Structure formats: C-alpha cells, structure tokens
Chain A
Amino acid sequence: MAVTRREFIKIAGMMAGGGLGASGFLPPVPASEVSAGTAAEKAAASVAATCEMCHWACGVIAKVVDGKVVNLEGNPDHPCSRGKLCARGIGGMGLLYDPDRVKTPLIRTGKRGDGKYRKASWDEALTYIAEKMEAIKKTYGPEAICLFAVGSCSTHLMPLLAAFGSQNFGNPSFAQCRGARDIGFRLTYGETPGSPERLDLGRSRAIVLFGSHLGENIHNSQVQDFAEGIGRKAKLIVVDPRFSTAAGKAAYWLPIRPGTDMALMLAWMNILIREGLYDRDYVERYTVGFEELASQIGQYTPEWASKETDISADAIVQTAREIGKCRPSVCIHPGRHSSWYGNDVQRSRCMAILTAMLGAWGREGGFFLAARGSLRKAQGKEEYPIPEKKPLMEISPYPLAGKAGLTTGVTTVVRDATITGKPYPIKGWIVMGTNILRAMPNEKETMDAVNNLDLLVTAEIMPLDTAMVSDVVLPSASYLEQFEDIGILRGYRLGVTMGRPAVKPLYESWDGYRIARELAKRLDLAAYFPWETLEDKIKAQCKLWKIDYEVLSRKGYIAIEGTEAPFITEQNQPVFRTPSGKIEIYSGELEKLGFDPIPKYTPVEQPEEGRFRLLYGRSPAHSFTRTTNNPMLHELFRENEVWINAKKAAELGVRNGEYVVLVNQDGVRSNRVRARVTQRIRSDCVYMVHGFCSSSADLRNAYRKGADDQGLITRYAIDPICGTTGMRVNFVQVVREI
C-alpha cells in the first residue's frame, strides 16, 4: 500500500496541554484530598452500583472515601463489565459532581423556551403536576397524558401512568433505535437478538459489521468480546462508508454506498446458494421458505450489486466466500440503532436470514441461545384500569409497533397526535431519562407538539434541551446516588442484578421510585407503590425469588446456576416462537400484513451533486447529549467535527480544522462545526458524532459546542412495518464560514 498521506491524531492524551491550575482529573475531589499517590491509598469503601452512563447497565464498584466517590471500577462478577469500565463508565464521577446539575425542583416562570424558572419545593412541584394531570384527565380523559421514558426510571413511571389510566408510551429506544432490528429478528426467529445482544464474538471465525463502529461505539462486554475475536484472528468484514476504527482492523473494508446494504446482503445470499456455501442441514432442519428465497435470489448477481453498492463484484464474491467458509462461527452483527432508511425491518431481516443460512444461530461464534428459566417480577397492585380510549399504538398505522410489549411505543405517533389532536387530544407529556427534543427527528415538529401541551414535566439530572422547555423540572438522582431496581440479565446464564447507592443524593435530587411514589400519593394511586422505598421493593423481590438480599446487594450480581444452554446439541434444541415454529426465511406474518414475505431490494434516494448524505455515529467518550457537559468526558472529546472526504474538501476549498456550516435540503443551518478533512470517508456523505451543540445555556461545557446532527434531520422515512424513523435520509451542503 502506497503511503502517500498520513493522518496523525492523538486520541486525547495531550501530554502537556493547557493546564487548568491544580484541579484534579477528577472534577470533584481537590488534589489535596486525594494526595499525591491515589485514591486507593486511603481505605475506600466499595459499593456495587449499576452504571447508567449508557444502557448496557454494567456493574460498577464505586470507591468511596469520606462520603465522596473517588474512583469507579468495573464489577468483576458482573457479566456486562467483567472488571472493566469504558471511558464513560469511569466518567460517571463527572456526572455525579457536575456543577451544572439540576439541583432543586423548578417551575417555569417565563415563556416556554425562555429558560426562566423559579425554585420550588418538592411538595409544591408535585402538587402542581398532580393538579394539572387531574385537570387534563377531567377535560380530555387520562389517555391525554403520555410518557417518554428510557432506562431504569421507566420501571417506576410506567406503572404510575398505567394506574392513572393511560398506556400511551413513547420509547426512543424503539422508534429511534433498536425497533426495526428487533422486529426483523422477531419475525424471523420469534425473538429479538437481546440487549445485550447474544453474540458469541469472542469465538467467531468471521465477524461482519454493517455500520456498527465497535470501539468508537462502546458496549463494554461486547467490545471485550470483539477484541477477543480479533485477537484470535477472526476475519473481520466491515461494511461502512467511513473507515471506522473497526475498519482499521478489518481484513475487508467495504466502503459501501450508503443505503445499499440490502443489495450486498442479497448478493451474498445468491453466492452462498450458488456455490453451496450455506449450511444445508441446518436450513433443512430449522427453517421454512428457503426454496422461495432460492427461486428469487438469482436476480441479485454480484455484478448487479456492484453497481448498486459501489463495491467491486470481486470483493462481494470474496467476502461471501469468506463468511461461507467460516460458517457456522460467523457473527453478522445485527447492530443496535437501526432506524436508517425506512426499509429497516427488511434490512434486519436480511441479516437474520444470512445468519440462518450460515447456521450461526445457536452456534459457537455466532448467536448463542438465551439462558433458560424465568423469574416473575414483584408488582404492587396488579390490575390497571382498562383505558376507555384505545392506546395510540393500537390504532397506529404501523402493524408491528407497540406489539412487542410496553416499551415499543412509537414516539412520532405520540407526537403526531399531540400536534393534530387526532385520534384524540394529547395534553401532557412526562419525560424521564431521555432528552426527547434531541432524540427524535425534526425538532420543529417536536416543538409544535410541545406548544400544544398543558403540561410538560421533565425529570432530569442535567438541564438538557427538553428540560429547558418544560413547565416543571424535577431533579433526578444519578445512579451513584440511588438504588437500582432489581433486574434480570439474560446472558449466557440467567442472572439477577441490582445497584446500591454509593453516596446520598446530592442537592435536592430524588430517585425515580420516590418521584413516582410521591406523585402517586397525590393522585390517590399509592396502592400501586406499596413499598416505602425502592430498597424495600428489592428486598420483597429477593424474598419472592429466594435470593439472599445481603449477598446480592454486596455483589451487585448473582448468577442462577443451571440456566446456561448456549449452543445447539441433540439434547439442546432451539425453540422458535414463530407461527411455523421454525426460522422464517419466508414470513407468512409479513405476507398477511401486505409486506414482502422475502426481502426485496428497494433503492433509496441518493444525494444530488454538491450535497452529501448526513451520517452520524458515536464517540467512545459520549452517550448522546447526556454526557457532553460531563467535565471528565468533555476533556476527552470536546466537540464534534464533520468528516468530509479530502478530495471533495479540496473542491470546496474547505481546509482541515476550519469551521464550516452545514445546510440541509430544507434550508436548516447547523451551528459552526470544525471540518475534519480526511481520506477516511466516501465522497457522497459526511459524518459527525451525534449529540452535540446543546441549546441549554445552563450547560457550561456543552452549550453551542459543535453541530447538532438531529437539528439537520428534518426528514425521516418511517418504516411502514413498525413505525421506526429512518434518519439517514437528509442531504447537506457544506458551507465555509466567512
């Protein structure tokens, strides 16, 4: 390979940067307190908490000295962390001690969006909310209140809302994230890939990533397994328009034209069948519809796919042979955020079908089978009132939305109803654990909806964008200050998790259970929250499951022995909860609903000359908008850059490091953002890390730093099958800032 150009970047790690006086790397603890050596020199108490810096929910051991958290380490017993934490995990101290936190309940005094608030007591704030909720209920019915919730707090607020009489939930984790993937796999296998995904990456012989940029996108144990796989010389195939860190490790980097992944996958299926490289026995034994697939697949030749994908036919054939040869120990990573183009269920179906053709589901190095056994969750009063009006999800136009349990509510369905008042008016939003203004595409539509509300409540740790337009803001405790509800972890083994608070809640912050319970009291719904504290609830749960509370609360994780059965053997046969009881290559369910029973290629719109498709992704230092103000993580990654192909940049006269502005197809302009002129991206797209440029002036590190990709995502392509919003359908121009 000709070395004609070198890009040399330090991933953080300036040895001698601008020092900030003697303030410690740890924001909270002055150097003098944790003297010269380290935190570890003083006897520190160890507390097993559950990390909430992202949704992987690692076990974390907090080291506490004199009531202060001085360090965080991975819980060695917890399967999600295995003794290690990612940068964000260690940066949890930066969240706990962030000086910009929401410190007291706040009630809005100015116009919505002015950011003018007054301090209120908890009693005043909760009474205010309860009265508003009752008033809305009286005029419009209880269904007019909706909940947007993500993370552990949702386990407390969902029962509250259901008890109040509404089952209208919006879950960005579904509609803006994993929804299409989960539905695609459920249609094929009768279950989702799980979260954490049940991938046996450490033993894979070949790993295929479609846009997944593991390494830059960190889910702790999964990246540990990924590195283990690479260390054991798994062949890595990275399909990504951008030369990601993972692509830098790949045997094959396929810089695909964005939006054409299905063409590549259908061509791979064709080659696997043509060359007999699929697992015949497995396909015969466990699948239905292979013949139908085989009869349609001939049209998808490597030459055809080459034109669509901009990858050479040779490379398509070679990589197909590579995964065929490595079967069944092949991991085609299903990804997580999968709402890309509006055809995302079918794209996920392609991944699921390829996995089946390679015989990789239930096989070492592929997907492992879910641990056996189940545990029943303790509930308060179990009967919820049946809503008079049908929940929005049941009358939405998307047949598979809202059907896979309570956490599959499509956010845009709630938003549309709030804007139009149809099928019935929505007048109150309760938002917790998600910065909904920044999680959904088209911020203007979200604001249109917000402006129709009589009540918008946000419970937040940080004053993020949504908090700044809310009527009431409640100060949430962070995971280091509260019990984390008991959880069931279905990894190789079934396990039980919980978290203990490392320190008392700072300022006037409350934990999610207390917020839900105190609000319930004011709505005459206290019967649904019979336990005084979350700890009491966890104890009751432990009693029900015959688990030693003392052991669980000390260790943070307990494995249930005898539940592990990861791979297919004659004695350990997989169960597929599909209509046919088999893996459905041909989906009768989709056919009945009027969709393609076998995925067909449908091209997506490509940008015209002079415009770039806007792509976005992750930094290992950040989880969306929620970490950008964190002093420790801000230090590692201060603001996002827009990656632009070097040749294109030269044409436009854009220099590396200079500020540019992006303008999208609807004329929306971004904040100024540094150009990263690079060989590492195709010429038809630009890329940036998601979550920057906060509109909240109360965030000293994040306010107007970098560009907000979500603000440029005014267009979205809804998947007709499940309502998830494809967000990679926006085209931008790059304008030099003069």
Chain B
Amino acid sequence: MPRYAMVIDQRRCVGCMSCIIACGAENNVPRGYYRTRVLEIVSGEFPDLGMELRPEMCNHCDKPPCVYDCPTGASHRAGDGTVQIDRKKCIGCKSCVVACPYNARYIHPEGFADKCSFCVHRLGQGKEPACVANCIGGSRIFGDLDDPGSVVSRILGEAGGTVLLGGAGCGPRVFYIGRPGGPE
C-alpha cells in the first residue's frame, strides 16, 4: 500500500491561482467554495518587506481529528492512508469541520462535508492530483513516502520539510520546504 504525501516548495509558488481553479474544475467544487487556497502573508514595513506564499489544503493526517470526531464513519482513513469522505454516510453535522485544525473542510450545498481528496480518482489512473499536475511553478510535488526512490521521499530526506501546526500532533502529510526565513 502506498503512503501518499505532498511536498510544497514555497520558493516556486508564484501565487498564480491556477491550482485553485484546476482543483475546482477537476472536482466540480461548487462556486464560492474551495478545496485549496493560497495564503499571501506579508510582513514588515516599507521598504523592508517579506512575503510568504503558502498553498494549503487537507493534510491527510495520520491521526486525523476529523475522522475521530465523525459520528457516522463517513470520514475515514482509506487503505492508502488518505482521509476520505463517504458522502452517503455523511449527515452534514459539521463535527469534522470544527475538528480540523487546518480549516480544510466545508459543507457542500448538497449537505455533505467536502474537502481535498488528493484527487484519489486520478491516482487510480496513474495521474497526479490536478493541482500538482497543473502547478505552473512546479511548487506542488506528490508521491509515495513508502517508496524511497520517490521524489517526495528524496526531497524530505534531503531538506527535511516542515509541517503546519506540528504541535497539534495530527501527523500531517503535507510538507513544506523553502519557507521564507527557513533553511536553504
């Protein structure tokens, strides 16, 4: 079984929004909702300014609070370790939306919880998630952590990589490298 993860090289993100719209088109995300976003965080005062561009989405945690808090079992960890939602079991109670420390979920207008699936339907066809395949900057990198030869394994082996809200202890599978002010 693979163990999927995403690495985001923040140096290469140019804030072009193509991941957001590629995700929306691929997954038919309802208008006004998004499964991924890019934060633009500027610090300092003119002219001493710094900027961080940070793409965010579901972290497909190893210890996912959204799964623990789901009363019906709709939110679950799939065999490949990704966190998925069974829409038929979902009652739209929002427990998972509140439980997620990454603010990665929303309630679909049709009544079920929704979020990034790592484009699991594409993975089955041997394709990368839409946001990765379409990333203009080559900032988003996807692969299998259990394959030591995969690009994500190699990058994380070399550069380490940080996670968001590590203190929350959820074991996120989205890793960041090249953060401004971080190690080269």
A interface with B by C-beta (< 8 Å): 1-27, 29, 31, 34, 36-41, 71-74, 83-87, 89-91, 93, 214-216, 218, 220, 223-224, 226-228, 230-231, 243, 245-249, 253, 255, 620-621, 631-632, 635-636, 645-647, 678-683
User: Which residues B8-32 have CB closer than 8 A to chain A?
Assistant: 9, 11-18, 20-22, 24-32
A205 CB to closest chain B CB, in angstroms? 16
Question: Does B44 sit at the interface, judged by CB under 8 A?
Answer: yes
A620 touches B18 (CB 8 A): yes
B20 touches A636 (CB 8 A): yes
Q: Provide a sorted-by-A list of 5 A–B residue pairs whose CB atoms are within 8 angstroms.
A: A36-B87, A41-B121, A87-B18, A90-B134, A248-B51
Q: How far is the CA of A20 from the CA of B30 in the complex (A)?
A: 8
| Chain B: interface residue total (CB-CB under 8 A) | 61
Of all chain B residues, which has the CB nearest A35?
Answer: B28
Known: A38-B28, A87-B17, A215-B16. Contact between A1 and B50, CB under 8 A?
Answer: yes
Q: How far is the CA of A216 from the CA of B40 in the complex (A)?
A: 12
Question: Does B4 sit at the interface, judged by CB under 8 A?
Answer: no
Q: How far is the CA of A220 from the CA of B138 in the complex (A)?
A: 12
Known: A631-B31, A635-B32. Contact between A72 and B25, CB under 8 A?
Answer: yes
Q: How far is the CA of A522 from the CA of B32 in the complex (A)?
A: 48
* Contact partner, B37, options A13, A24, A37, A621, Cβ 8 Å: A13
* Contact partner, B36, options A13, A39, A72, A86, Cβ 8 Å: A13
* Contact partner, B109, options A22, A231, A679, Cβ 8 Å: A22
A223 touches B14 (CB 8 A): yes
* Contact partner, A245, options B37, B40, B43, Cβ 8 Å: B40
Question: Does B110 sit at the interface, judged by CB under 8 A?
Answer: yes
Residues of B within 8 A of A15 (CB): 33-34, 37, 103-106
Q: How far is the CA of A7 from the CA of B41 in the complex (A)?
A: 6
For the complex of A and B, list the 3 residue pairs with the smallest distance between their C-beta atoms, beginning with the closest.
Answer: A13-B37, A248-B51, A215-B14
A249 CB to closest chain B CB, in angstroms? 7
B20 CB to closest chain A CB, in angstroms? 5
Question: Does B53 sit at the interface, judged by CB under 8 A?
Answer: yes
Question: Does B161 sit at the interface, judged by CB under 8 A?
Answer: no
Known: A216-B15, A227-B139. Contact between A6 and B42, CB under 8 A?
Answer: yes
Known: A87-B16, A231-B138. Contact between A679 and B45, CB under 8 A?
Answer: yes
Q: How far is the CA of A72 from the CA of B107 in the complex (A)?
A: 26
Of all chain A residues, which has the CB nearest B120?
Answer: A37
* Contact partner, A1, options B48, B87, B136, Cβ 8 Å: B48
B31 touches A20 (CB 8 A): yes
Known: A25-B31, A223-B16, A227-B14. Contact between A679 and B46, CB under 8 A?
Answer: yes
A245 touches B51 (CB 8 A): yes
* Contact partner, A23, options B30, B97, B103, Cβ 8 Å: B30
Of all chain A residues, which has the CB nearest B52?
Answer: A248
A218 touches B16 (CB 8 A): yes
17 additional contacts (CB under 8 A) given A13-B36, A632-B24: A1-B44, A3-B44, A9-B42, A13-B20, A13-B34, A13-B38, A14-B32, A15-B106, A36-B87, A73-B133, A87-B21, A90-B22, A93-B25, A218-B136, A220-B136, A231-B137, A248-B50
Known: A31-B30, A38-B27, A248-B53. Contact between A4 and B134, CB under 8 A?
Answer: no
Q: Mark B120-145, 1 if CB is under 8 A from A, else 0.
A: 01100100000001111111000000
Q: How far is the CA of A15 from the CA of B36 in the complex (A)?
A: 8
Known: A15-B103, A224-B137, A228-B138. Contact between A245 and B45, CB under 8 A?
Answer: no
Question: Does B1 sit at the interface, judged by CB under 8 A?
Answer: no
Question: Does B78 sit at the interface, judged by CB under 8 A?
Answer: no
Q: How far is the CA of A720 from the CA of B7 in the complex (A)?
A: 52
- Which of A37, A83, A253, A682 has the most B CB atoms < 10 Å from its CB? A37
B15 touches A620 (CB 8 A): yes
Q: How far is the CA of A40 from the CA of B124 in the complex (A)?
A: 11
Of all chain B residues, which has the CB nearest A231?
Answer: B12
Residues of A within 8 A of B21 (CB): 87, 90-91, 632, 636
* Contact partner, A84, options B36, B40, B133, Cβ 8 Å: B133
Residues of A within 8 A of B107 (CB): 16
Known: A19-B30, A86-B18. Contact between A11 and B37, CB under 8 A?
Answer: yes
Of all chain B residues, which has the CB nearest A93?
Answer: B25
Q: How far is the CA of A223 from the CA of B139 in the complex (A)?
A: 12
Q: How far is the CA of A214 from the CA of B22 in the complex (A)?
A: 19
Residues of B within 8 A of A74 (CB): 134
Q: How far is the CA of A19 from the CA of B36 in the complex (A)?
A: 16
A621 touches B17 (CB 8 A): yes
A245 touches B14 (CB 8 A): yes
Q: How far is the CA of A6 from the CA of B42 in the complex (A)?
A: 6
Of all chain B residues, which has the CB nearest A3?
Answer: B43
Known: A15-B37, A86-B136, A223-B16. Contact between A7 and B47, CB under 8 A?
Answer: no
Residues of A within 8 A of B103 (CB): 15
Known: A38-B26, A682-B46. Contact between A16 and B109, CB under 8 A?
Answer: no
Residues of A within 8 A of B105 (CB): 15
B39 touches A11 (CB 8 A): yes
User: Which residues B53-110 have CB closer than 8 A to chain A?
Assistant: 53, 56, 87, 97, 103-107, 109-110
Q: How far is the CA of A216 from the CA of B104 in the complex (A)?
A: 25
Q: How far is the CA of A620 from the CA of B32 in the complex (A)?
A: 18
Of all chain B residues, which has the CB nearest A619?
Answer: B17
B15 CB to closest chain A CB, in angstroms? 5
Of all chain B residues, which has the CB nearest A621?
Answer: B17
Residues of A within 8 A of B12 (CB): 227-228, 230-231
Q: How far is the CA of A496 from the CA of B47 in the complex (A)?
A: 46
Q: How far is the CA of A531 from the CA of B40 in the complex (A)?
A: 52
B31 CB to closest chain A CB, in angstroms? 5
Residues of A within 8 A of B135 (CB): 84
B109 CB to closest chain A CB, in angstroms? 5
B41 touches A16 (CB 8 A): no
Residues of B within 8 A of A231 (CB): 9, 11-12, 137-138
B19 CB to closest chain A CB, in angstroms? 9
Residues of B within 8 A of A84 (CB): 18, 133-136
Q: How far is the CA of A9 from the CA of B42 in the complex (A)?
A: 8
Of all chain A residues, which has the CB nearest B178?
Answer: A231
B136 touches A25 (CB 8 A): no
B16 touches A86 (CB 8 A): yes
Q: How far is the CA of A228 from the CA of B21 in the complex (A)?
A: 22
B17 CB to closest chain A CB, in angstroms? 5
B114 CB to closest chain A CB, in angstroms? 10
Residues of B within 8 A of A620 (CB): 15-18
Residues of B within 8 A of A7 (CB): 40-43
Residues of A within 8 A of B50 (CB): 1, 248
A85 CB to closest chain B CB, in angstroms? 6
A73 touches B134 (CB 8 A): yes
Q: How far is the CA of A386 from the CA of B60 in the complex (A)?
A: 69
Q: How far is the CA of A226 from the CA of B52 in the complex (A)?
A: 17
A40 touches B49 (CB 8 A): no
A227 touches B138 (CB 8 A): yes
Of all chain A residues, which has the CB nearest B32?
Answer: A17
- Which of B56, B87, B109, B137 has the most A CB atoms < 10 Å from its CB? B137
B34 touches A14 (CB 8 A): yes
A5 touches B17 (CB 8 A): no
B121 touches A40 (CB 8 A): yes
B51 CB to closest chain A CB, in angstroms? 3
